[in-house]
Amino acid sequence: MILNIPTDLEAALIDLSLPAWKLDGSSLAKTTMERYRAELTATPRFEETVATLRHALTGEGGGYAVLRLGNLVKALGTDDDRFLRLATAFAAEVAVPFSPFPRWPLWKDIGVKVDKDPGKSSGIGYNAFHMDLVNATLPPDFTTLLCIRPDQLGGGRSILTDAHAAVARLSEGARALLSEPAYHYGTFFDLFGVGEEYKPFPVLDGSAEGEGFVRFTAKMLTRSPLGRAHADAARELARELVRGQVSLMLQAGDYLLVNQHRYLHGREALQSGQEAVPVAERRLLLQLFLRARADGGPAA
């Protein structure tokens, strides 16, 4: 779902100056979330907007949303944290912002490195469908990407797919194989708030149909010691994920939020010629993870 900010709310947000956030461990402090909510609920149509956002992410048939904050970033710029505080405040209305990486701040930069593995998040190639922290027992409930600069050459469209819809199209035999703990991917170190390493893990966790994580990353097809049957089942799922994909081009200020219990995400390749683009002008996203509250309600 694409969600535009009402003009009267935009005007109020441009004039609003939220305080710097504080952390409680690696999570946004409750006092900060309460302060942000108190200030934002006084602005026109804020609660209506965040109610629509929550429904797009967790309501029936939902799973992702793009919050259009482009006019805010144009008005506020990115030289200080005013714009980022507003984005953080919107995120906190969905769930609790946190960083699983102690060495990173709350928001993590995802820039473009031409010499990196092209399939990585900061690479220039196709980044196939995946869920973030797939090999953790408690992956983030939501992953979010805030576009600061799109690829000026026109590539790097975001791709999304309904993981449970793809699973429903699989053969019974493939679903049975995907329910077995046979899959491996990635390393696991220096992480916080995401449980323990899950190795090996099942793609399907035995939850009722349409529920639970679909623990998939296309990279496990080449980096797991899989037998033929388990590899074939994962490839069948990969085809269905691509079959159901949607793509969109994030513009400056677009804030993509993904419910990892429902959708997987990825990225099409950036346009060729990235080497000629100055580093400070290349595509730049900021990533923030969210943890759902135990009671399922809003974060504050």
Q: Which of 101-105, 135-139, 286-290 shows the lowest mean pLDDT across its residues?
A: 101-105
Please indicate whether residue 207 or residue 87 has the higher confidence score (pLDDT). 87
pLDDT at 299 over 70: no
Domains in the chain (CATH in brackets) are 2-163+243-291 (3.60.130.10)
How do residues 111-126 score in pLDDT, each as one tens digit?
Answer: 999 988 888 888 999 9
pLDDT at 294 over 80: no
**Cα–chain center distance at 49:** 20
Please indicate whether residue 80 or residue 277 has the higher confidence score (pLDDT). 277
How do residues 32-49 score in pLDDT, each as one tens digit?
Answer: 999 999 999 999 999 999
DSSP β-ladder status, 23-24 and 27-28 = antiparallel
How do residues 20-29 score in pLDDT, each as one tens digit?
Answer: 999 999 999 9
Q: What's residue 211's pLDDT? A: 77
Tokens of 156: 């790097």
Instruction: State the Cα–Cα distance between residues 20 and 90, nearest whole angstrom.
Output: 15
Is residue 33 a contact partner of residue 12, using CB atoms and an 8 Å limit? Answer: no
What are the contacts of 221-230 at 24+ separation with CB within 8 A? 223/184, 223/185, 224/182, 224/183, 224/184, 224/185, 224/200, 225/184, 226/182, 226/183, 227/182, 229/177, 230/177, 230/178, 230/180, 230/182, 230/183
Is residue 175 a contact partner of residue 254, using CB atoms and an 8 Å limit? Answer: no
Residue 285 DSSP code: E
Per cent of the chain over pLDDT 90 is 84
pLDDT at 60 over 60: yes
Q: Which of 205-209, 224-228, 232-236, 277-281 shows the lowest mean pLDDT across its residues?
A: 205-209
How do residues 162-199 score in pLDDT, each as one tens digit?
Answer: 999 999 999 999 999 999 999 999 888 889 999 999 99
Confidence of residue 300 (pLDDT cuts 50, 70, 90): very low
Judged by phi (left if over 0) then psi (alpha if -120 to 50, else beta), residue 40 lies in alpha
Compute the average pLDDT of residues 63-83: 94
Q: What's residue 76's pLDDT? A: 94
pLDDT at 264 over 60: yes
How do residues 224-252 score in pLDDT, each as one tens digit?
Answer: 788 999 999 999 999 999 999 999 999 99
Tokens of 166: 């793809």
DSSP β-ladder status, 254-259 and 64-68 = antiparallel
Instruction: State the Cα–Cα distance between residues 158 and 268, nearest whole angstrom.
Output: 6
pLDDT at 296 over 70: no
Compute the average pLDDT of residues 90-100: 97
Is residue 67 a contact partner of residue 255, using CB atoms and an 8 Å limit? Answer: yes
Q: Which of 117-121, 126-130, 283-287 shows the lowest mean pLDDT across its residues?
A: 117-121
Return all residues near 42 (Cβ < 8 A) that are at least 6 apart.
none
Q: What's residue 298's pLDDT? A: 55
Compute the average pLDDT of residues 276-291: 95
Residue 280 DSSP code: G
Confidence of residue 4 (pLDDT cuts 50, 70, 90): very high
> In terms of Cα–Cα distance, which of 136, 184, 159 is closest to 241?
159
pLDDT at 157 over 70: yes
Is residue 133 a contact partner of residue 122, using CB atoms and an 8 Å limit? Answer: no
pLDDT at 295 over 70: no
Per cent of the chain over pLDDT 70 is 97
pLDDT at 97 over 50: yes
